[in-house]
Amino acid sequence: MPSDNSTLAFKTREGHMKTYDTGQIRNVGLFGHQGAGKTSVGEAIVFLGKATTRLCSVNDGNSNFDFDAEEIRRKASMSMAVGYGEWDKTLINVIDNPGDTNFAAESVVATNAADLGLLVVGTIDGVQVGTEKHFELLQEAGLPTVIVLTKPDRERSEFEKALAQVQEVFGSAVVPLTIPIGTESSFKGVVDLLANEAHIYDAHVGSVGAIPGDMADVVASHREQLIEKLAEQDDELMMKYLDGESLTLDELKTCLSVGLKSGAVVPVVTVNASNGAGVDFLLDLITNHGPSPAERKAYKVKVGESEEVIESSAAAPFYGYVFKTIMDPQQGRISILRVLAGSLSPDGSFVNVNTGTRERFGTLTKLLGKKQESVTGANVGDLVAVVKLKETRTGHTLYAEEKGGGELVTLPLPSPCITYAIKPKSQGDEDKVSGAVQRLVEEDVGLETSRDDESKEFLLHGLGQSHILTAVEKLKKKFNVDVEMKLPRIAYRETIKGVAKNVEGKHKKQSGGRGQFGVCYIDMEPTARGAGFEFEDAIFGGAIPRQFIPSVEKGIRDQMAKGVVAGYPAVDFKVKLIDGKYHDVDSDGRSFEMAGSRGFRAAFKLAKPVILEPIQELTISIPDEFLGDIMGDVSARRGRIMGTDAKGKTQLVKAQIPLSESQTYATDLRAMTSDRGSFTTVFSHYEELPPNLAEKLIAEAKLEEEED
């Protein structure tokens, strides 16, 4: 165990945090299911790393990482946060990510800033949905992984069961590096299988001792498994091992470094984060065997149509990537970035590759939650923050020069799968709501906003109902904006199935002086679905003067947008203007607009009007065991299964479901599959709404019209 650190180790004589060389930096991301103990592990790291003077706690409400009011209330992370500590003269940057899949976009972005993933698993609940999803994410991002088993001191803690689970689910690369001494209330330390020694803890301070005699067999079994896996990393050492020779501790450590960085070894360590026990061993593993930024899988940027590898060296031009934005009420926009190449000094500028604009900045700071410490510079791999960038957002790439830079190639973010319309509770607060939501979206890359031109609704799109509810709560508490939310108005359409002939549209008004007069006669018939509106001028003999014919069409188009039977736009029909009447004095463009509108309404009602509903095409990804339930649920939603495709133990189900039946599908699918299902959705086409549902919709529209 390294010698005790000092808080002064962080400081220069001028009181700034010192700058670390790339080889002295480790960037670790905390991933896992909600409630597994990720934030507690982060707190233990920054405490043992001397960034804080006390071990803070989520349960006590003083966590450095969960500092938002809603996070404190819920005792759960809902946003990515960063911190740091120093261990053995090495800077460890910590990225704490939410475990709830409603906030999954944060974890995806975090993989661009981390070099090593700490997959946190509770020994009570074992492998859960979030555990599997985050492991898949780390694999996709190509990040080496350490599995951290937590809560060995809690009731119902079962180390062996949890270890067996992670090995079964995540494969033969998973091997234990430490195992607990005692369980539940009798937990008192860990056995270091590599050095074959015990570490007994008084709070977070460990002392080396003899392995308890009653653990000899289980230690021998786990150690043999570990040594065999490590020997596999080197052909010569594997032959030595097979010949029955013992491997030295240095040889085993070399194999551990190689295997961890390549991903061929996924070590498992046990920690009691609530008091820091075992976290010193985790820190040794990170600093001595984890990858530095120089050893990370190479970053690529897209320049034009090609991808280029970034030279991640101090001599290269500066490259940076913004992986988190915080909207602070006092300081404004705080942008947290990773230095991908080159270096960064205070009071400088860089170019935002995404926008093409040059951004100037002043102080560089390190963040521990919301606490800031100024730094004199940042080298390749370091994570620092700058304030008040004007046009830079999360996901933007920064470059030193005006030309030659490219946008960082990253994993795609999860697409929003649920939408709510929001409006201010107080009239006149529309602009206030719009501004607050934009700031919220900057903080949370999983959120999107839009405005529906047809319904005029302001829409908030997210990754789940809880995601939207949390956003609305944050609007109220952080930005002092109170809103109402409801499901968006569905974009139904009206059309016809029949034909109407020679229907009169007449507008006549006499109020003294010059009057208003216009008459048109039209035929109406349906066209193919999706064909839109067609207008034919079949007037002969001047029944309507040429200058008024466009007015008839305009009147029809205006009424089309308003609908006839239920207030939804009318589509897919043809109108033929066949005859009309006019008056030399009283006829004008406005009169024929009114005539066209009235003729259209009358003809539409005669031509067997129907309501069309939007149909969405869903691609649903689920484990095999849920296939029957999902197919039954699709049918219950008036949907159709279009096909299935098996990929390993996963089924991809393609289905078409009416939008009215799938607006809350994100929430429903989570419930049906215990959060193991996911889906994407796109608009497919319009279909006729069943008559019973159409009658209900028309009745509701009439009721709303009467109330207005």
Condensed to tens digits (0 to 9), the pLDDT of residues 212-247 reads 999 999 999 999 999 999 999 999 999 999 999 999
Structural domains of the chain sorted by starting position, each given as residue range(s) with its CATH number in brackets: 21-211+264-295 (3.40.50.300), 304-408 (2.40.30.10), 418-486 (3.30.70.870), 493-607 (3.30.230.10), 613-693 (3.30.70.240)
| Residue 645 clears pLDDT 90, i.e. is over it | yes
Q: How far apart are CA 619 and CA 555, in angstroms?
A: 42
pLDDT band at 8 (very low <50, low <70, confident <90, very high): very low
Output the pLDDT for position 4: 39
Radius of gyration (C-alpha) of the chain in whole angstroms = 33
Mean pLDDT score, 54-79: 90
| Residue 704 clears pLDDT 70, i.e. is over it | yes
Whose tokens are 């996924």? That residue is: 266
pLDDT band at 15 (very low <50, low <70, confident <90, very high): low
Output the pLDDT for position 540: 87
pLDDT band at 414 (very low <50, low <70, confident <90, very high): very high
SS3 content of the chain, % helix, strand, coil (to 5): 30, 30, 35
Mean pLDDT score, 250-267: 97
Phi, psi of 414 (to 5 degrees): -65, 140
212 secondary structure, DSSP code: P
Beta strands in 624-700 (DSSP E): 640-647, 650-658, 678-688
| Residue 500 clears pLDDT 80, i.e. is over it | yes
291 secondary structure, DSSP code: P
- Summarize pLDDT for 377-409 with one digit per residue, the tens: 999 999 999 999 999 999 999 999 988 899 999
Output the pLDDT for position 72: 86
pLDDT band at 663 (very low <50, low <70, confident <90, very high): very high
- The pTM (predicted TM-score) of the whole model is 0.89
Mean pLDDT score, 406-421: 95
Q: How far apart are CA 446 and CA 325, in angstroms?
A: 12
How many CB atoms sit inside 10 A of residue 547's CB?
11
pLDDT band at 9 (very low <50, low <70, confident <90, very high): low
Residue 315's DSSP bridge partners are none
Whose tokens are 């709510």? That residue is: 420
- Summarize pLDDT for 550-566 with one digit per residue, the tens: 999 999 999 999 999 99
Work out the mean pLDDT of the chain and round it to a whole number.
93
Q: With contact defined as beta carbons under 8 Å apart, do 53 and 412 qualify?
A: no
pLDDT band at 517 (very low <50, low <70, confident <90, very high): very high
Output the pLDDT for position 428: 77
| Residue 3 clears pLDDT 50, i.e. is over it | no
- Provide the percentage of residues in the chain whose pLDDT is more than 70: 97
Q: How far apart are CA 633 and CA 629, in angstroms?
A: 6
265 secondary structure, DSSP code: -
